[in-house]
Chain A
Amino acid sequence: MRRESRHRKVLTRRALFLGGAQVVLLSGLVGRMYYLQVLESDQFKMLADENRINLRLLPPPRGRILDRYGVELANNEQNYRVVLIAEQADSVEETLEALGKLILLPAHERARVVRDVSRRRAFVPVTVAKNLSWEEFARVNVHSPDLPGLQPEIGESRSYPLGVTMAHIVGYVGAVAEEDLNGDPLLELPGFRIGKNGIELRQEDVLRGKAGVSRVEVNAFGRVIRELTRNDGLPGEDVLLTIDAELQEYTRQRLEGESAASVVLDIHTGEVLALASEPGFDPQAFTRGLTNEAWNAIVEDPRKPLMNKAVSGQYPPGSTFKVIVALAGLESGVITRDHRVFCNGEMELGNAKFHCWKRAGHGELHLLQGIEQSCDVYFYDLALRVGVDRIAEMAERFGLGRSSPFGLPGVRSGSIPTRDWKLATYGVPWQQGETLVTGIGQGFVLATPLQLAVMTARLANGGLAVTPKILRQSVEGGGETEPPPSIGVSRGSLSLVLEGMNRVSNSERGTAYRARITSKEFALAGKSGTSQVRRITAAERADRIRKNEELPWAARDHALFVAFAPIAAPRYAVSVIVEHGGSGSGTAAPIARDILLQVQDLDQRRRSRSNGGRLDG
């Protein structure tokens, strides 16, 4: 019994020890709770709020792009689509099966939906079909009771009502690429689109707007329980262009079928009224997404539909450049209007012969006749006398050889050679023969259709340095109120050259007489240009120069024409280039004529419609 009572004591002692240990451990729990719930409470309260409050970005509606009269060139269209919320569907497969009977739903799309559903939480909507027609959308809506889990939705997508007509100007929007990310959280929204080309690209900041923010309470699975606060953000601003959509449409149609470009300017303001490049593309296709085949077809087309030839195409200006050479001669005092040259069809320089386009020769010509008949020998002679550097200096005053700021991407600067430039670029000195070639706008001379239109505008407006504008608001190039500075060419020289251009179109011997405007009120003055893209060998010359029609397309001459109208009170300048189009007077001049007629006709109609010309710039 003694032993037992000793044992009993051990048990009691140990029981008390255990009880004590339990008290200590429970106190530890109390301490821990005090630490979490009192000392660290604020931090955990914050974390609890972070848990439950989510910021949702509300994408702002993108600004529209409008033409000078308010016609929508780019807007936001409602886009019908169907999304699937997996948790509301009894069976995803059955629902898709049922939907497949209402709208076209290819097997690979169905597989994609099933895959997407399995990867996301069950309440996250998965897009099943988008860009539905109204009929399809209505059909889905009517049958929605039989389609558990499916939700018809109306989203916004970019739309280009004028399609291909505005493709090169307006551009298009596309998915955000890795390199576009700049910290703006909007760009990380799935499905967000940004400008990829044209005005959409250059005016992205204006068009995009500011994202709104919605603070929502969410549960642990991300499901929104309720909205706490909301800030709608700022919608994107509209962008107004100087383009006249009607004229643009006409211009594009007039070029259709060719690989060509044309620019129409207001010669006083520099506003671009039309800027067309053919062939074009369907900007809507870029918003929707292109198939590989469609993309390859566009990229591999030798006529380069994606390129905006009006600003990015660089062509030898050919004889249209002769007006610059003539002005260089007159302004430098090297020649007067009476300077005469005898053309026998060619000019010899050293061992080389330089031919005139007219093999038989023009005979003796003075300056106006030289321009009127576009005699090459006259301008070989003149170029030699003036020298390439003075020609280049005059060309630059007319905006050639340098790029001026313009509202579209891809603007090229063309090229105007000088002696120094040749030495710096090629490391060899300038050759005299090259001066001759420069005199007829060939060789190293390159210009874009936009530059040629600006050149023509500066000729026609009396030598004012207008710059091209495509944005109606005075975003670029300062205010419209201040008249552009003079380029410092004398009135006399200018009117002489303009008279030469008048003769080109309105004298019976002029190269473009057949493409004249007969009505005096609207008459145009212009200059044709035909620029060679290949070298004509002596052997071919000896035999017979092949006609353009006999050559493969890519070897044919480029056809150019620059013009302004009306002669009495010049208002519009136009440049037209048809790649490999044959002769300038034969192919390009009629197009320029039609465009100038159209712009003046539109002008008159608008004037009579608005009863006093409220809309004229």
Chain B
Amino acid sequence: MASHMSTLGDRPATMTLMRKLRNISWMLVVLIAVTAGVGFMMLYSAANGSIDPWVTRQFVRFCIGVALMFFVAFVDIRIWLRLAVPIYALALALLVAVKLMGTVGMGAQRWVDLGIFNLQPSEIMKIALVLGLARYFHAVPPEEIGRLRWLIIPVAMIVAPATLVLLQPDLGTAALLIAGGMMMLFLAGVRLWKFAVVIGGALAAIPFAWAHLRGYQQERILTFLDPERDPLGAGYHILQSKIALGSGGIWGKGFLLGTQNHLNFLPEKQTDFIFTTLAEEFGLLGGLFLLALYAAMLGYGFAIGIRSRSYFARFVGLGVTGTFFLYVFVNVAMVTGLVPVVGVPLPLISYGGTAMVTLLIGFGLLLSVYIHRDVQFPQRPGLEPN
């Protein structure tokens, strides 16, 4: 991995497209394609051995996403630095828009109808938040990070979208936004005791927040704590998911032979619970193979982030990687019954357009960071204009 990344020595202000193509981390692209391939297989199986209704549409989205990924990757990282704040502002505006005129689906307002397709702004916000915070910390003088007043803006940047998403209501995405944001704050060097204060405060607020949760959200948390309390109702998902995983064993039941999957015992088998289909049909080995793919991608992303020169690029690289990790971890932990079912898709595998495209755009940013890893940035542009 390291040898791959240290081939270029010169630091051009601008690069030709050919150079960028040569410069790209092709290994990462291959890993993305392989993982997406696993996803198509599982969607094929979830549809009882048919490319309809999911594989075809997901493949089209993947192609669009990959095109966007390369586009984003080839755009100079400095342009992304300049666009970071507008992108964040746009994402926030979309969240407000979805609140005001979004489509209601499955009991929550999550989508805006853009005519040709429905957009889920909360997905875009995951990347936009990373960009926005990276832009902010890129500009903050390092010695000022420790001061509380410098934390007001980034905390507000996290809390505002998280609140809007929570109101949709989408507890899972809101939690992921907060977790991702806190990760960025942690990277920026915010003192640990401040996290302790915030976490302590959050714990103290639980009884208050509990009263404000929707019934189904309360139910999901209670059911998470004791899945057997309602095996036919809310606990059904977790229980059936664990049965699918457990009965898969080490070697799995074989491709297209998962009984839990094909007899429809698996809930949401094409979206949030698709990992169980994989683990049922390919067993522990299949699950570990996918986790290994993810780990490899995380490793690449992590190395790309560390390796970058500028703060902005580092924050973007590590932020995208961290967000990606959160998705993988929360989804797998959810379907194995370790955390409550909060509705988080499995990256690159779960059926769903916005998540797939957003994620590929995120990888595009990561690749851009990699391609432009040695680009010189203007020295500390500061927060003030110019």
Write out, one digit per residue, whether chain A residues 195-237 have a CB within 8 A of any chain B CB (1) or not (0): 0000000000000000000000111110001000000000000
B243 x A34 contact (CB < 8 A)? no
**B103 CB-CB contact with A under 8 Å:** no
Chain A residues, CB < 8 A from B247: 41, 44-45, 47-48
Pick the residue among A4, A6, A14, A47 that contacts B243 (CB under 8 A). Answer: A47
A51 x B260 contact (CB < 8 A)? yes
Write out, one digit per residue, whether chain B residues 24-56 have a CB within 8 A of any chain A CB (1) or not (0): 000000000000000000000000000000000
Chain B residues, CB < 8 A from A44: 242-243, 245-247
Select from chain B the residue with minimum beta-carbon distance to A41.
B249
- A47–B244 Cα distance when bound, in Å, is 9
User: Which of A16, A22, A36: most chain B CB closer than 10 A?
Assistant: A36
**A3 CB-CB contact with B under 8 Å:** yes
A37 x B298 contact (CB < 8 A)? no
**A18 CB-CB contact with B under 8 Å:** yes
Write out, one digit per residue, whether chain A residues 373-393 have a CB within 8 A of any chain B CB (1) or not (0): 000000000000000000000
- A41–B288 Cα distance when bound, in Å, is 16
A220 x B263 contact (CB < 8 A)? yes
Pick the residue among A18, A25, A37, A45 that contacts B284 (CB under 8 A). Answer: A37
Chain B residues, CB < 8 A from A545: none
Q: How large is the interface on A (under 10, 10 to 19, 20 to 34, 35 or more residues)?
A: 35 or more
**A104 CB-CB contact with B under 8 Å:** no
Given contacts A3-B142, A10-B189, A29-B336, contact A51 B246 (CB under 8 A): no
A29 x B302 contact (CB < 8 A)? no
Write out, one digit per residue, whether chain A residues 596-609 have a CB within 8 A of any chain B CB (1) or not (0): 00000000000000
User: Which of A6, A10, A44, A218: most chain B CB closer than 10 A?
Assistant: A44
User: Which of B247, B259, B287, B336: most chain A CB closer than 10 A?
Assistant: B247
Shortest distance from the beta carbon of B170 to any chain A beta carbon, whole Å: 23
**B264 CB-CB contact with A under 8 Å:** yes
- A30–B286 Cα distance when bound, in Å, is 12
B298 x A33 contact (CB < 8 A)? no
**A292 CB-CB contact with B under 8 Å:** no
Shortest distance from the beta carbon of A139 to any chain B beta carbon, whole Å: 37
> Which B residues from 164 to 193 make CB contacts under 8 A with A?
183, 186-189
Given contacts A14-B187, A15-B318, contact A36 B246 (CB under 8 A): yes
Chain A residues, CB < 8 A from B306: 12, 15-16
> Which B residues from 122 to 165 make CB contacts under 8 A with A?
142-143, 145
Chain B residues, CB < 8 A from A7: 142, 145, 189
**A43 CB-CB contact with B under 8 Å:** yes
A45 x B249 contact (CB < 8 A)? yes
**B72 CB-CB contact with A under 8 Å:** no
- A25–B183 Cα distance when bound, in Å, is 15
A11 x B259 contact (CB < 8 A)? no
Pick the residue among B262, B294, B336 that contacts A32 (CB under 8 A). Answer: B336
Chain B residues, CB < 8 A from A539: none
Chain B residues, CB < 8 A from A40: 246
**B322 CB-CB contact with A under 8 Å:** yes
Select from chain B the residue with minimum beta-carbon distance to A19.
B302
Chain A residues, CB < 8 A from B220: none
A218 x B263 contact (CB < 8 A)? yes
B291 x A26 contact (CB < 8 A)? yes
- A3–B249 Cα distance when bound, in Å, is 54
**B333 CB-CB contact with A under 8 Å:** yes
Which 5 A-B residue pairings sit nearest by Cβ, starting from the closest?
A: A44-B246, A7-B142, A48-B247, A219-B263, A220-B264
29 A-B pairs, CB-CB below 8 angstroms?
A6-B142, A10-B189, A11-B311, A15-B302, A15-B314, A18-B186, A25-B329, A26-B291, A26-B328, A32-B333, A32-B336, A33-B279, A37-B248, A37-B249, A37-B250, A37-B284, A40-B246, A41-B246, A41-B247, A43-B246, A44-B243, A48-B244, A48-B247, A48-B265, A51-B260, A52-B260, A219-B264, A220-B263, A220-B264
Beyond A15-B305, A44-B247, list 18 extra A-B contacts (CB 8 Å): A7-B189, A11-B189, A12-B306, A14-B187, A14-B189, A22-B322, A26-B294, A29-B338, A32-B336, A34-B284, A37-B248, A37-B279, A40-B246, A41-B246, A43-B246, A51-B243, A51-B260, A52-B260
